[in-house]
Amino acid sequence: MPIYMDVLRIERLVVIIARGHVTAEEIAANTRTLIEADVPNFAKIIDVAGSASDLTREQVQRIADMLRGGPDSPSRGPVAFVVNPARKGFAEAFAELTEGDRPIDLFTSLHVARSWLKQAKEGAARPAATLHDGVPVRGPT
């Protein structure tokens, strides 16, 4: 499977790495595993820079809805996507669809994504849709 996930409980961090072509079924299975891990308030780094998928916006919306849970769900931790700016896809759609739910943003560098997550966990993250690593990764919201 081209999706790998590590839950670092001591750091309250989930790291997900996707490589190659990722199917809707693989993403849904990883989403279920993430829900079963019961870590909604953990920070997450999701590296999709080396992957591609053919998900529709509706499929991405269903995944976002699965992760939201019900009205009594706990707060959710910040998400930093590491992306390839030459390729748009899941990360951009997910960030757009869940922008008001929690701190979420896109980066071209793992190092910068980690720094942003640290700020987000402390409540000092900059707003979404800014320039990261000198490369615009998404337009204004």
Q: What percent of the chain has pLDDT over 90?
A: 51
Q: Beta strands of 23-137 (E only): which ranges?
A: 43-53, 79-82, 104-107, 131-132, 135-136
Higher-confidence position of 132 and 24: 24
* pLDDT, mean of residues 31-44: 92
| pLDDT given at position 138 | 54
A 10 A CB-CB count for 27 gives 21
Residue 118 has a pLDDT of 87
- With 60 as the cut, is the pLDDT of residue 16 above it? yes
In whole angstroms, how large is the CA radius of gyration of the chain?
14
pLDDT over 60 (residue 140):
no
122-125 — which CB contacts under 8 Å span 24+ positions? Answer: 125/78
CA angle centred on 94, ends 109 and 48, rounded to 5°: 35
Arithmetic mean of pLDDT over the chain: 84
CATH topology of domain 3-136: Rossmann fold (3.40.50)
